A and B are shown apart, each in its own frame.
Chain A
């Protein structure tokens, strides 16, 4: 079955420290992978995507993600966390089901402490 897993419900990090939010996936074929962020009472905002090419993808607000095909992972990273990065982060993968749909992980809540 095609799926996305975010193994951590919550990640806590101190401001200024690097952060990593983990994501693994299971799809057939080559995946299109995405990260979205959701602030309270808001819709999801697109952060970055992986299509093909360089394994390190750069996105909005200083975030980047590393695609690892052998480990089927797409971890979100940021070198120096800000308190304002505190939010809910979703990993997603586009799957081919005859049509096309996107499957989202359950989300990881990031807390950045000042």
Chain B
């Protein structure tokens, strides 16, 4: 399977714990996006990378959230001191970066904060 993969698929944690998610994009794609999706809503943009550079972050992304893409391949999204409001599906997408920048999505990581 050469699509976007995300791990873990499900994560249950207690409030206040830290969690880290991983995204492996399609190999030739140089852009990588993170989104958050809650029930009944479309994906909300969080941040994106062009190769290893993080180019834009949403104001939704509080200081507790950090993302990295150290070698321009896989990416991690870490949430520190999780809160119940962080419960959501976290989606990763990748693209070639050339217009129109069609994004291809992974299956997502569903986070539940108890």
Which of B44, B48, B100, B106 counts the most chain A CB atoms within 10 A? Answer: B100
Known: A42-B107, A43-B91, A46-B104. A51 touches B99 (CB 8 A): yes
- Give the nearest-CB partner of B55 in chain A: A99
In the assembled complex, how far is the CB of residue A6 from the closest CB belonging to chain B, in whole angstroms?
A: 8
Chain A residues bordering chain B, tally (CB within 8 A): 26
Tell me the bound Cα distance from A4 to B33 in angstroms.
Answer: 19
Tell me the bound Cα distance from A71 to B105 in angstroms.
Answer: 29
Known: A43-B4, A43-B107. A107 touches B100 (CB 8 A): no
Residues 38 to 76 of chain A near chain B (Cβ within 8 Å)? 41-46, 49, 51
Tell me the bound Cα distance from A100 to B6 in angstroms.
Answer: 23
Check if A27 is an interface residue, CB within 8 A of chain B: no
For the complex of A and B, list the 3 residue pairs with the smallest distance between their C-beta atoms, beginning with the closest: A104-B42, A32-B100, A43-B105
Q: Could you list 5 A-B pairs, sorted by A, with CB under 8 Å?
A: A43-B91, A44-B93, A100-B48, A105-B42, A106-B40
Interface contacts beyond A32-B101, A101-B58: sample of 10 additional A-B pairs, CB < 8 Å, sorted by A: A34-B100, A36-B105, A43-B4, A90-B42, A92-B42, A98-B56, A99-B55, A100-B101, A101-B48, A106-B42
